[in-house]
Structure 1
Amino acid sequence: MPTKVKEEDKSGGSPAGTQTLLRGLALLECVAAGVSDVKGIAAHLGTPRSTTHRMLGSLVQQQFLHHVPYKGYLLGPKLIALGIKALEQRPLVALARPHIEVLASHTGDTVHLGVMEGAEVFYLDKIPGTRGLEMRSRAGNRMPLASTGVGKALVLGVSREQWRSLYDHAMAHRRAQGHTPAIEWTEYALQMDAYLRQGWVMDLEENELGIRCVGAPVRDLTGKVVAAISLASAVPYMSEDRMRRLGPLVRDTAEAISKDLGWIPA
């Protein structure tokens, strides 16, 4: 839930300009979280409706928000442009792009690039496949680490002691969506040990029904896992035999990105 911005205490606190800035940023977070009407936004921010309405009007005028009559407020075109710029300025995205484009072109499947944020994977880039398939994933999206191809590849970079808590987080997410755990913990741990030895992972519909993925970790010059890539497609195009053939290819692509980041194979 967006942070509620309190009125400035007369005895001290942030300068008025800073307070206004924080209020505007909190408002944007509120809209991004799906609260789109003046009443709801005002309630979340703890500001009067008249004040909230004026702030919304200013942000619409500057194109940070977009207003749809009778429906509410959406994030505006300026934020979309800034978000794209933010992704472009991350060296990892720029270095990985040529490699994942080749992988996508060679296989016809969807390629993802992501990093770890807490117990979730944050998707930095996505190249859609050529088979006309739609997937939930997108750049800027977050999903549980332990149940996605990109995420499981990232999990290879953390200690075994952390695997269980990441697994529990992913399974709690599945239950919240009305699904039963896709795999029991004992089997999951055995699979992850095997993936660690081979350097690539498989997602057998553990995150999205009908979608399978092959993933591999990306390392920096210190050898630390800093990102991961995955290759994803629908079950008819991604048999387990094909996944085993693709695994080394995905791992080689991840290693090529790693080398561009300064990683030197042992």
Structure 2
Amino acid sequence: MTAPMTLDDADNADAPAKPAGTQTLLRGLTLLECVAAGVGDVKGIAARLGTPRSTTHRMLTSLVAEGYLHHIPHKGYLLGSKLIQLGQKALEQRPLVAVARPRIEALARQTGDTVHLGVAEGDEVFYLDKIAGTRGLEMRSRAGLRMPLASTGIGKALMLGLDPARWAGLHARACPEESAAPATPADRPRPPPWPEFAARMADYAAWGWAFDLEENELGIRCVAAPVRDARGGVAGAISVASATPYMPDDRMRALGPLVRAAADAISCDLGWTAA
């Protein structure tokens, strides 16, 4: 007897053969990404997935039952406790996070400012960790955030490990043409024009640390330095960030060696040996 065709079988009738359950798994992951992006209602999620509401509701109910989602009646769906636990485990399993955490916690206590840890993924910074400072400041950075390399201090520190021939392209990535975003305000934070940016990067390469002078977020400045691995390559970067009143030019210059020393300590923990 031929088994009845399931919804997934019908959807995939004309698609290339995939392992059993693959489509359902991918839909479930896409559903979680929808909720993470703020789409929390059945109608909106169904529209994103292209599935009937009844199917979407069954998927949501299953994910709630397993703890991957949390449902608030009349409000919608949120990411659940199991995803929070998995996210924390994912961070813990990144060796750089585990090695760097005591160092960046100490740096945050020493400076009173917010400290970040990040790595380069493509032409973006991927923030791995954030230790809040004691000044009660709020900034948009968070673990899991991605930003163009050339628009952030931590990104410019990461760029110090790249061939300088790539800097211009990364600068262009962080400075899209106004014609591509006509609604963008002219005073939107962005890196300076290329000649000035290139001159600053040359200084950063000589110093061993980099600055963010409100190029990513208005009112926020930071000092960043690269973290190196046992082979001497740049494996990540850390930054100390605070509001502009706490980051005058003279303090940023004083923080440079301090941030680099912390980054070098993490590098040594990873097996790097200073030349």
TM-score (norm 2): 0.89
Aligned counterpart, 1:9: 13
Aligned counterpart, 1:254: 263
Change (3 A) 1:86 1:173: farther
**Shift in Å, 1:28:** 0.9
**Distance in 2 of aligned mates of 1:35 and 1:173:** 30
Q: 2:69 pairs with 65, 70, 77, which one? A: 65
Aligned counterpart, 2:147: 143
- The question of whether the paired residues in 1 share the 8 Å contact of 2:151 and 2:190 is answered with no
**Shift in Å, 1:10:** 6.8
**Distance in 2 of aligned mates of 1:173 and 1:55:** 42
1:1-266 equivalences in 2 (<5 Å): 7-9=11-13, 13-172=17-176, 178=185, 179=188, 181-266=190-275
Query: Which shifted more, 199-208 or 164-173?
Result: 164-173
**Distance in 2 of aligned mates of 1:28 and 1:64:** 8
Q: How many residues align?
A: 261
Instruction: Please list the CA deviations of residues 215-246 of structure 1 after superposition, one character each: whole Å capped at 9, or x if unmatched.
Output: 00001111111100000111111111111111
**Shift in Å, 1:15:** 3.5
Unaligned ranges ≥5, structure 1: 1-5
The root-mean-square deviation of aligned C-alpha atoms, in Å, is: 1.9
Change (3 A) 1:56 1:253: same
**Distance in 1 of aligned mates of 2:239 and 2:189:** 24
Change (3 A) 1:12 1:103: closer
- The question of whether the paired residues in 2 share the 8 Å contact of 1:144 and 1:173 is answered with no
**Distance in 2 of aligned mates of 1:180 and 1:114:** 20
Unaligned ranges ≥5, structure 2: 1-9
Residue identity in the other structure for 2:132: P
**Distance in 2 of aligned mates of 1:169 and 1:72:** 36
**Shift in Å, 1:182:** 4.4
**Shift in Å, 1:171:** 1.9
Query: Runs of 4+ in structure 1 displaced over 4 angstroms?
Result: 173-177
Residue identity in the other structure for 1:101: E
**Distance in 2 of aligned mates of 1:180 and 1:232:** 16
- The question of whether the paired residues in 1 share the 8 Å contact of 2:124 and 2:146 is answered with yes
Q: Which has the larger radius of gyration?
A: 2
**Shift in Å, 1:88:** 1.0
Secondary structure in 2 matching 1:15: coil
